[in-house]
Structure 1
Amino acid sequence: MPDVPVEVVRRLYATPPERFVAARDAAVAQAREAGDPRTAREIGRLRRPTVAAWLVNLLAIRRPELVADLTRLAESLRAAQRDLRGGELRELSAQRRAVVGALVAEVRRLAAAEPAAPPAGKLPLGEVEATLNAALSDTEVAEQVRTGRLLRSSHYAGFGEVPRPQLRLVTGGEETYRVGRPGAPGGAGRSGGPTEPVGSGGPDGVAAERAEARRARDARAARAERAKRRRAATREMARARADLDRAERELAGADTAERDGAATLDRIETELAELERRRAVAEQELSRARLARRGAERAVTAARRRAGEVEAVLEALDAEEGDAEIGDERAD
């Protein structure tokens, strides 16, 4: 995409997938308004990435130095595989797990800062991890990851680069290296000269026969060594595939458990929100009841006081009437 400005590509591929199409259409319209229809067409050809690919692109765009570390580690791994440096390869493999784990954690942190990102429990981090591991073994995936233009997640099912074996042919007192089938046309002979004919008679013929016999023995030894290495590689491949299958099953189980846990957490949070709402309503009703009780208590107190006052008046009236009757009786 040479006609699309780099900043436009970076902005679009850092945009969450659900907003990608709208952002791309806006960029197309802006290019057309600027009188650049060719750039507008190229922008319109950009495709929306998956969520996992977007997360990897976000890592490459926001933290390019971390992706550069991944690229350097990939080069070291390939060199160790080509040279069959077992100890270094094991050390680099352990470093690979640590680096990929740190990158996945950084992806989770970057996604948390994006308002339109999916919830943490729904991030496809397993696909992100698989893509980063693929970038360590596949140069094409590594380039897409480095440029931040990944469209979909990747998964690498191979086992790295396999170096082409170099066969050693011993002829006489010298060693000559040859690639391919010993004795084939164009192959190296003894001391760089042409191979002598077999059975030519005389000392030279005997020497040629012996040399041919040595070459045949060396060829058989080379074939046996290749067969041995192939059997060892086959066993290693079987173990690696078994480990891969087990890891993929564990990953699938972990993804399922993570999704179930996220669903349970969402359900509990919903229930908690409902309980909080009901608690607020109950607290309001309790407050109103308390206010009503206090009002009723005040009313009861006032009524009692009023009743006491009326009762006192009645008693006073009764006393006055009693005194009046006594006075009347005395007057009679």
Structure 2
Amino acid sequence: MAAPSRELVEQLYATPPDRFVAARDAAVAEARRAGDQAAAREIARLRRPTVAAWLVNLLAIRRPELVADLAQLADALRAAQRDLRGAKLRELSAQRRAVVGALVAEVRRLAAETGEAPPAGKLPLGEVEATLNAALSDAEVAEQIRSGRLLRATSYAGFGEVPRPQLRLVTGGAEEPAVPDRAAERAETRRTRDERAADRAARAERAKRRRELDRELARARTDQERAEAELAGAERSAQDGAVELDRIEAELAELERRRAVAEQELSRAKLARRAAERAVTAARRRAGEVEAAVEALDAEEGDATGGGQQAD
């Protein structure tokens, strides 16, 4: 019987960790339906990687040429260290920082492309960077990273042995005869059960969070509808107020116009009154003068009449 194909294993290790167990179990079931019990057992032994290890695997699977460049840089660094070439070491160290930074940026981009990764701010990019730096210091770690099947991230402090990432390879080809290990099988069964329980718990937590968010969304939409209704009422009131204000302003403008006309008429009336008053005064003075003249004439006539009578 054939072992799992490289493509299948890469597909599993490119799957986000929270979906790994379900994808692996589906692959096991498919192998069993195909009658390939050996492949089913090998697939069942594959363990779920951490998020950091998954990100490194994603880089190795999707961009193997970049990981190959990392391995070449690691060889050059180790050669410079052996030869104690200080200038070359400084040059390669600068290149190391640039390469690792570029790889971390590529990991972030690949994670975003999946659409299923945690938010960028929650990605364990520090662990990814530490693992890539460890690969530059240890050839075995570099080779394990190139396999695309890391289970945990690793780091290198600059001395001593590099902690080896846990790794199980399925390389394809004929199955090697194996001696049954009941304890290992029981441990594997417990591990699988624990992984499934953790997966169920994670799904339950997501479902609970989804229900909470749905309730919160319903409340938010109710508040939004109420606020929109209040806004519509306020807008209608504002429109009515604007119409009323326009009407009042039009009335005020008309009153101002009529006031100006009335003030002009009042001014003309005052002028006419003053002219009439002057005319009345002049007429009264003239009437007084005429009356005085009449009285004087009457007096003269009286005097004349009296003198004539005396002469007779």
Name the TM tier (shorter chain).
0.5 to 0.7
Q: Could you tell me how far apart the structure 1 residues matched to 2:143 and 2:226 are?
A: 58
Cα 1:95/1:285, change in 2 over 3 Å: same
Count matched residues: 186
Cα 1:84/1:18, change in 2 over 3 Å: same
Which residue of structure 2 aligns with residue 39 of structure 1?
39
Specify the code of the residue in structure 2 equivalent to 1:150: L
Q: Is the 8 A contact 1:17 1:48 kept in 2?
A: yes
3-state SS, counterpart of residue 136 of structure 1? helix
Q: Could you tell me how far apart the structure 2 residues matched to 1:95 and 1:297 are?
A: 69
What is the TM-score when the length of structure 1 is the normalising length? 0.52
Q: Could you tell me how far apart the structure 2 residues matched to 1:85 and 1:293 are?
A: 80
Which residue of structure 2 aligns with residue 133 of structure 1?
133
Q: Could you tell me how far apart the structure 1 residues matched to 2:109 and 2:8 are?
A: 24
Specify the code of the residue in structure 2 equivalent to 1:88: K
Larger radius of gyration: 2
Q: Could you tell me how far apart the structure 1 residues matched to 2:135 and 2:221 are?
A: 48
Which residue of structure 2 aligns with residue 157 of structure 1?
157
Structure number with the bigger relative contact order (C-alpha 8 A, sep ≥ 6) is 2
Cα 1:86/1:279, change in 2 over 3 Å: same
Which residue of structure 1 aligns with residue 289 of structure 2?
none
Task: Give the deviation of 1:82 after TM superposition.
Answer: 1.2
Cα deviation 1:260-298 (Å, max 9, x = unaligned)? xxxxxxxxxxxxxx9999677434312134446768999
The yes-or-no answer on 1:286 pairing with 2:231 is: yes
Cα 1:7/1:289, change in 2 over 3 Å: same
Which residue of structure 1 aligns with residue 73 of structure 2?
73
Q: Could you tell me how far apart the structure 2 residues matched to 1:16 and 1:138 are?
A: 27
Cα deviation 1:137-196 (Å, max 9, x = unaligned)? 1122111110101110001123499xxxxxxxxxxxxxxxxxxxxxxxxxxxxxxxxxxx
Cα 1:100/1:296, change in 2 over 3 Å: closer
Q: Could you tell me how far apart the structure 1 residues matched to 2:78 and 2:72 are?
A: 10
Q: Is the 8 A contact 1:52 1:125 kept in 2?
A: yes
3-state SS, counterpart of residue 116 of structure 1? coil
Matches for 1:110-259 after TM superposition, within 5 Å: 110-159=110-159
Q: Could you tell me how far apart the structure 2 residues matched to 1:107 and 1:44 are?
A: 27
Which residue of structure 2 aligns with residue 86 of structure 1?
86
Q: Could you tell me how far apart the structure 2 residues matched to 1:281 and 1:65 are?
A: 57
Q: Could you tell me how far apart the structure 2 residues matched to 1:90 and 1:26 are?
A: 49
Cα deviation 1:215-265 (Å, max 9, x = unaligned)? xxxxxxxxxxxxxxxxxxxxxxxxxxxxxxxxxxxxxxxxxxxxxxxxxxx
Which residue of structure 1 aligns with residue 30 of structure 2?
30
Which residue of structure 1 aligns with residue 4 of structure 2?
4
Cα 1:21/1:89, change in 2 over 3 Å: same
Q: Is the 8 A contact 1:81 1:160 kept in 2?
A: no
For structure 2, the 5+ residue unaligned runs are 162-218, 244-312
Q: Could you tell me how far apart the structure 2 residues matched to 1:83 and 1:143 are?
A: 23
Specify the code of the residue in structure 2 equivalent to 1:40: A
Task: Give the deviation of 1:86 after TM superposition.
Answer: 1.4
Which residue of structure 2 aligns with residue 51 of structure 1?
51
Which residue of structure 2 aligns with residue 255 of structure 1?
none
Q: Could you tell me how far apart the structure 2 residues matched to 1:153 and 1:11 are?
A: 19
Identity %: 72
Q: Report the aligned-residue RMSD.
A: 2.9
Q: Which runs of 4+ in 1 moved over 6 A?
A: 274-277, 292-298
Q: Could you tell me how far apart the structure 2 residues matched to 1:15 and 1:297 are?
A: 61
Structure with the larger helix share: 2
Which residue of structure 2 aligns with residue 235 of structure 1?
none
For structure 1, the 5+ residue unaligned runs are 162-273, 299-332
Q: Could you tell me how far apart the structure 1 residues matched to 2:6 and 2:125 are?
A: 27
Specify the code of the residue in structure 2 equivalent to 1:93: S
Q: Is the 8 A contact 1:31 1:39 kept in 2?
A: yes
Cα 1:289/1:141, change in 2 over 3 Å: same
Q: Could you tell me how far apart the structure 2 residues matched to 1:62 and 1:283 are?
A: 48
Task: Give the deviation of 1:66 after TM superposition.
Answer: 0.6
